[in-house]
Structure 1
Amino acid sequence: MLNIWSAIAVPASFPVWAIRVLAVLLIVFTLGSIRFIPANLPRKTRTLRSQSGKLGKFFYASFLKPHSSDVVTTTQQNALESFYKSQADAYDATRRILLRGREDMLGLVAAQLKYKEERGQFSALRPIWVDMGGGTGYNIEAMQQYLDVPTFFAKVILVDLSPSLLEVARRRFARLGWDVEIVCEDARSFQMLDHMHSVDTKYDHIGADLVTMSYSLSMIPDYYNVLDSTVTLLSPEGIIGVVDFYVQSVVERDLYSPTEPTSSYAYKIIETVDASCSQSPPSSPELTGRSIVPCQKKLTAIDAKSKAGRDAIINLGSNLPLPSLFYQNSHRRLCYDDHLDKHTRFKNEYIYTFTWEDPRVDHRLLKMKSTDAVLCIASAGDNVLDYILEANPARIHAVDMNPNQNHLLELKIAAAQTLPYAQYWKMFGEGKLSGFRDILIEKLSPQMSSQACQYWLNHSNTFDRSHGLYETGGSRHAIILIRRLFKLLRLTKDVRNMCNVKTLNEQRELWPKIRRVLLSKPLHWAVIGTEWFAWKAAGVPQAQHRMILQDHQDLGEASPGGEAIWEYIVNTLDPVVQNTLLSSDNYFYLLCLQGRYTQRCHPNYLSVRAHAKLSRPGAFDGLRIHTDELREVISRIEPGTLSHAVVSSLPFPLPDPPPSY
């Protein structure tokens, strides 16, 4: 006989029998305590008594009850029943604590289904859902939080191999009055064709629009084969949603996230290879067919310079799925390898939460128009959105080597496309939005790449009321330091007044008192003039920092680095205060000083007019987001197609491009 103890790793010097004795004592104590709880106690206490009893069943079934080890005579179903039968009634109560992330997975796939519904995919026929290894039916009832299950789905099928768990499911759906088909069958042998008899005959495909697996995949022998066969259960545009225990092995890193055991993301399974995933503007045809050789030839012919195309060829040749880009609802974020050193060195942190460069200058000098193709630095994405608003070029290539900056740009795009203006303003006007995580899962996720969605799931506290977006990122060090200095020296009121005055004369009168602190030489010598602060706080790379020092020396000033940076900042800030009104015209410094924009002073993309335009379908069709070095991106763009390049604040010299660019 074999039980669960063999799966628990304990130190060799600590006898297993001692662990068993401790567990027995714990259970006896728990059950004994329950027995002596009077029945007439308040409802909360009676609930505790019930929960403790279920917990006792769970401990017994998991750690004490013997299970058969005879693999010859014991089937998979008997093994499951041996484990689940004695705790079936307690399953939901205990797994709600132990199996985290199920609601997240359901929310993500529900958001994908709503996205499809809004675009008319289910206008004729409602979708079909198969919950594989669904046990007690908890997932199906929990989905009601996101979708009206009885009306949204044409058919819901629950598949599991444990009769005891399925009996709980039958009672659940009888209580709810829902028509759910319950199938007691091995997931490895389940076929959709056997269960389509009660579905509308108008369906031109035999397949589910949604297949979910919640902590069931790891319970199935040969789960790799189950994953492969699951594709055959899907309709051509079906979705698979999986949440399960994560794999720690480095070898498995590309299939399962080694850092997030409780989160998942829904990917479409598609029948086509879409060449519009390419960086090259001319690439647009759709390539159909699943065979490797034809796809490889077609991709090679039209996408020879595309990184996505090359990766697709490699994956198809290895009988692997295509890069995640091909499975996303939007192809604007181009694929990249997030394990490369040039990306990981940013340590999951963006530097800028807003863009410093003024887009009004770009429009005035470059006169961009709708037929242009523009290359620019993505940064925080503010100017990218402004170019789309004011000029709407046929193509914009937004480039940043820091993946997290592009995650921020994706978030701004997703919010503009899906959220009402009030929430959009709170996110990026005030930098704070309560319930951001739920909004991300239920509304924003279908508009984002898997990497960006995962990033914001991991950083969902960014918009908390205690901090907010504009106190995050590398540049927060400078902003927080300056605000604390103002508070320490009792200048907060003066700064607030300067941010609210209506005339330049009033602003100029307030400036000298603030200037004494902000531009004090000791502060710049000790902190701001250092290379560390320039990079970590202000986002000035080492190469650009050295350029400032070199320019200072070229002017014949043989002074230390702190002096050079001090003069640079003086020559920047003094003209700003003297010539631009912070309260209505200079949203860059307004944000730094008070931590939020105002309805009177903010970037163009935060206006009501801008939101109305950016929320239209297709508003971002011309955008391509590159996570790469600028040289790499230029080398892959079709020669002769770029009309403008906006590369201000670039920390290194550009390569000499061919004349055709």
Structure 2
Amino acid sequence: MVMESVKGYYMDLQCLSSMWLKKINGGSHKERLEEFYRPQAEAYDRFRANFLHGRQPLLAACAARLRGSTGMIWVDLGGGTAENVDMMAQLIDLASFDKIYVVDMCAALCKVAREKVRRKGWSNVEIVEGDACTFKPTKQATLVTFSYSLSMIPTFMDAVDQSTSYLADDGMVGIADFFTSAKYDLPNRQHSYAQRWFWRTVFDCDGIDVGPERRQYLEHKLAPVFEFNARGKIPYVPYFQAPYYIWIGRPIKCDKVNLQRFPARASDEFEAKRPPTFPPTFLYSLSWEDPREDDKVLEINPSDTVLTLTSGGCNALDLVYQGAGQVVAVDINPAQSYLLELKRAAVLRLPFEDVWKMFGDGVHPKFEQLLDREIAPFLSQGAANFWYQKSYYFKNGLYYHGGMGRLLRAVKILAKVTRQEHWVDCLVNAPTLEKQKELWYGSFDSKSVSGVLWFATVGKWLRQANIFTRISSFLVTNRLVLWFCAGVCKGQLSLIRKEDNIYDYIVRCLNSTAEYSHLRDSNYFYRCCLTGRFSRQCCPRFLEQGPFYQLKDELARGERLLIRTGTFVGELRKRTYSKVILMDHVDWLEQPDIDTLCDALRDQVRPGGRVIWRSASRRPGYAKCIEKAGFKVTRIQTSESYMDRVNMYASFYVAVRNSAPSPIRVPSGNVESTDERKPLLSPGSPDSVLCTPTDAK
């Protein structure tokens, strides 16, 4: 074992000395390659495994798009020792390729490759000692790859032109290589002057040109499908990380795009910056608006173009499932966009059970493997980076992370500390609504002896000292807690306090929800809050098996869902819409921003189009501003009665764009069929589950 390690280090040093210390001689490109690679041919694979970081992700991205196809032709240009073939064998059955050509000009590397083919028994792999600029297979290629080779081909335009000449209409070209950006480049590629000079100088010593020209020419010849830019460590060289990129393109001109292989790119490729007031993750892990009530007002149809805030992404997927022609989801917090990207890619690429584990249970033991092989190749740069960093979310429960996750963890800890876990379990699994109400208003688990003792001693002392009430009030009404855990901003908090006591507001919402909405069979919002997961019969529609497969088909048909990171008004200005879902967005805005929004709604909402929103105020002043912008505004519901399964807002509005009158049908029966409306219980009443703190503001 020790001798093998020593031998390995010796081979690595051979590679390093060949790269940095040996002068490269030769009159032709082939001679220079031989001079450079001959001394390190035997050690090539070991050293490059820790240096060529883009190779495995490139092959994974290609394999994800090819899986399920047969009779394919793969041409690996500059394939060296055929290590790419060995790596691809871990991702896809090599028998799905009729022929694999490994083309390289270096005889020393081809010798190693032939020995590998013989040893592995690959009958469909052919090693070709030749020039990538002139090689042409007998049949059209499904896949052409340049794995850290395009930067070493001086006449790279000839190589790209030749490869595209034999590329099939539904084929693709994949590249992984080192790079430097242009002086003015895309945000996810941009390097400073010093970085550009340094890396071009370093790689030029080995005859490697890492300038931006190669990728620019690729984008001239092919339509971009996937791109990822990153930095990777250099073996035995501390602190320095070499920039590399992965890029996949397809023919620009083709009669019909293979959407299974090249699904529509739903999101922006660049990595958006997070606003400084937001945490470095998402606030909402699920959408906190009831889509069932939205459906009754919106009446979605295939001609609709819908703009919605992203939030947790569940409702955006639901709109696609409902049949909207195109749904545009926008959020200023990039992490919310990344969450929706993950949900979209998972629905498109994974079987139902894997999606259920990820977003139903919130836990998937093989998430990192799925991310590498199936999901990341279909994510944007920012989303891929985010989920590689946050992959641990799926180890202990997705819904216990993010801003809302803090609140869920607090609920879980509180239930454990007060020994009420059994009571919570009984509440969320109550067989009937009557039993649920009985448990809720009966409060804590009377069968738990330890719970009774705890409240009889410590709890009694806390209540007498008014400490319990004060602590509860602080936790519920504290501005920082409301923002970072519940996503309640300063403006929204002000609206609530103008009309109500924040503590009373929350208690009234919870009491009426417990009384009118069944947690076991219908209210997946609060079920998730109490348990950190959904159940098979109580979950968002995209996690129901029937809708899941329909949604998978809908998403595969083209640009049905666009995911954007930016301001709501900015996205509103880009196209016209028939339906706009503001959620509670306007509660967050100052008056000048409200005026700007109303102007944009007036200009961009089609005649007869509908705008819906919810507010923490029963009569928000901005409703009149929207009305003046040319809308007929109707208040559908208020918190004076049970509103919906979320039940956390004070009002629900719909506005119809004037000049093409469209009757507004106020939904009736918005309480579950088994429910009966009753007067709401005020905090402090004998039957209320919580008491009103005397010092709540």
TM-score (norm 1): 0.69
Aligned to 1:432: 363
**In the alignment, does 2:8 pair up with 1:54?**
yes
> Do the aligned partners of 1:67 and 1:83 also contact (CA within 8 Å) in 2?
no
What CA distance in whole angstroms lies between the structure 1 residues aligned with 2:602 and 2:424?
Answer: 50
Q: Secondary structure at the match of 1:456?
A: helix
**Aligned pair partner of 1:603 in 536, 540, 544:** 540
Q: Secondary structure at the match of 1:145?
A: coil
Tell me how far 1:381 sits from its aligned partner: 1.8
Tell me how far 1:349 sits from its aligned partner: 2.2
Q: Letter of the aligned partner of 2:313 in structure 1?
A: G
Tell me how far 1:635 sits from its aligned partner: 1.9
Aligned to 1:111: 64
Q: How does 1:84-233 map to 2 (within 5 A)?
A: 84-114=37-67, 117=69, 126-149=71-94, 151-175=95-119, 176-185=121-130, 190-192=132-134, 194-196=135-137, 199-200=138-139, 203=140, 208-217=141-150
Summarize the Cα distance change of 1:532–1:133 in structure 2 as closer, same or farther, 3 Å threshold: farther
Q: Secondary structure at the match of 2:392?
A: helix
**In the alignment, does 2:266 pair up with 1:333?**
yes
Aligned to 1:472: 401
Q: How does 1:218-297 map to 2 (within 5 A)?
A: 234-245=167-178, 254-255=188-189, 259-261=230-232, 265-272=246-253
Q: Secondary structure at the match of 1:537?
A: helix
TM-score (norm 2): 0.66
**In the alignment, does 2:566 pair up with 1:628?**
yes
Q: Deviations over 1:127-171 (max 9, x none)?
A: 43232332211111221122232x433442323343222211011
> Do the aligned partners of 2:173 and 2:248 also contact (CA within 8 Å) in 1?
yes
**Aligned pair partner of 1:378 in 303, 310, 322:** 310
Q: Which has the larger displacement, 245-254 or 595-604?
A: 245-254
Q: Letter of the aligned partner of 1:382 in structure 2?
A: C
Q: Letter of the aligned partner of 1:394 in structure 2?
A: G
Aligned to 1:400: 331
Summarize the Cα distance change of 1:361–1:70 in structure 2 as closer, same or farther, 3 Å threshold: closer
Q: Letter of the aligned partner of 2:143 in structure 1?
A: L
Q: Letter of the aligned partner of 1:629 in structure 2?
A: T
Q: Which has the larger displacement, 613-622 or 585-594?
A: 613-622
Q: Which has the larger displacement, 227-236 or 430-439?
A: 227-236
Q: Secondary structure at the match of 1:399?
A: strand
Q: Secondary structure at the match of 1:267?
A: strand
Q: Percent identity?
A: 30
Unpaired runs of 5+ residues, structure 2, are: 191-227, 234-243, 446-454, 460-466, 608-697
Q: Secondary structure at the match of 1:597?
A: coil
Greater share of helix residues, 1 or 2? 1
Aligned to 1:503: 432
Q: Deviations over 1:398-430 (max 9, x none)?
A: 332333323322322332233222222111110
Summarize the Cα distance change of 1:259–1:617 in structure 2 as closer, same or farther, 3 Å threshold: same
Q: Letter of the aligned partner of 1:170 in structure 2?
A: R
Q: Letter of the aligned partner of 1:636 in structure 2?
A: K
Tell me how far 1:498 sits from its aligned partner: 1.6
What CA distance in whole angstroms lies between the structure 2 residues aligned with 1:107 and 1:336?
Answer: 19
Q: Deviations over 1:374-394 (max 9, x none)?
A: 3322222212233333x3123
Q: Which has the larger displacement, 505-514 or 595-604?
A: 505-514
Aligned to 1:555: none
**Aligned pair partner of 1:420 in 344, 351, 354:** 351
Q: Deviations over 1:246-277 (max 9, x none)?
A: 76999675448665538865532331499xxx
Q: How does 1:484-633 map to 2 (within 5 A)?
A: 484-511=413-440, 513=443, 521-552=469-500, 564-616=501-553, 621=558, 622-633=560-571
Q: Letter of the aligned partner of 2:471 in structure 1?
A: L
Summarize the Cα distance change of 1:217–1:351 in structure 2 as closer, same or farther, 3 Å threshold: farther
Summarize the Cα distance change of 1:455–1:70 in structure 2 as closer, same or farther, 3 Å threshold: closer
Q: Letter of the aligned partner of 2:263 in structure 1?
A: S
Tell me how far 1:492 sits from its aligned partner: 2.2
Q: Deviations over 1:278-328 (max 9, x none)?
A: xxxxxxxx9x9xxxxxxxxxxxxxxxxxxxxxxxxxxxxxxxxxxxxx999
Tell me how far 1:603 sits from its aligned partner: 1.8
Q: Which has the larger displacement, 626-635 or 355-364?
A: 626-635
Unpaired runs of 5+ residues, structure 1, are: 1-44, 275-285, 289-325, 553-563
Q: Letter of the aligned partner of 1:655 in structure 2?
A: C
What CA distance in whole angstroms lies between the structure 1 residues aligned with 2:553 and 2:20?
Answer: 61
Aligned to 1:456: 387
Greater share of strand residues, 1 or 2? 2
What CA distance in whole angstroms lies between the structure 2 residues aligned with 1:329 and 1:404?
Answer: 24
Summarize the Cα distance change of 1:429–1:55 in structure 2 as closer, same or farther, 3 Å threshold: same
What CA distance in whole angstroms lies between the structure 1 residues aligned with 2:129 and 2:328?
Answer: 52
Summarize the Cα distance change of 1:269–1:521 in structure 2 as closer, same or farther, 3 Å threshold: farther
Tell me how far 1:627 sits from its aligned partner: 2.9
What CA distance in whole angstroms lies between the structure 2 residues aligned with 1:66 and 1:357?
Answer: 60
**In the alignment, does 2:288 pair up with 1:356?**
yes
Summarize the Cα distance change of 1:495–1:618 in structure 2 as closer, same or farther, 3 Å threshold: closer
Q: Letter of the aligned partner of 1:604 in structure 2?
A: R
Summarize the Cα distance change of 1:499–1:217 in structure 2 as closer, same or farther, 3 Å threshold: same
Q: Deviations over 1:6-59 (max 9, x none)?
A: xxxxxxxxxxxxxxxxxxxxxxxxxxxxxxxxxxxxxxx4xx533532332222
Q: Letter of the aligned partner of 1:615 in structure 2?
A: K
Q: Letter of the aligned partner of 2:480 in structure 1?
A: W
Q: Letter of the aligned partner of 2:547 in structure 1?
A: A
Q: Which has the larger displacement, 356-365 or 615-624?
A: 615-624
**In the alignment, does 2:598 pair up with 1:655?**
yes
Q: Letter of the aligned partner of 1:470 in structure 2?
A: Y
> Do the aligned partners of 1:328 and 1:449 also contact (CA within 8 Å) in 2?
no
Tell me how far 1:458 sits from its aligned partner: 4.2
Tell me how far 1:177 sits from its aligned partner: 3.7
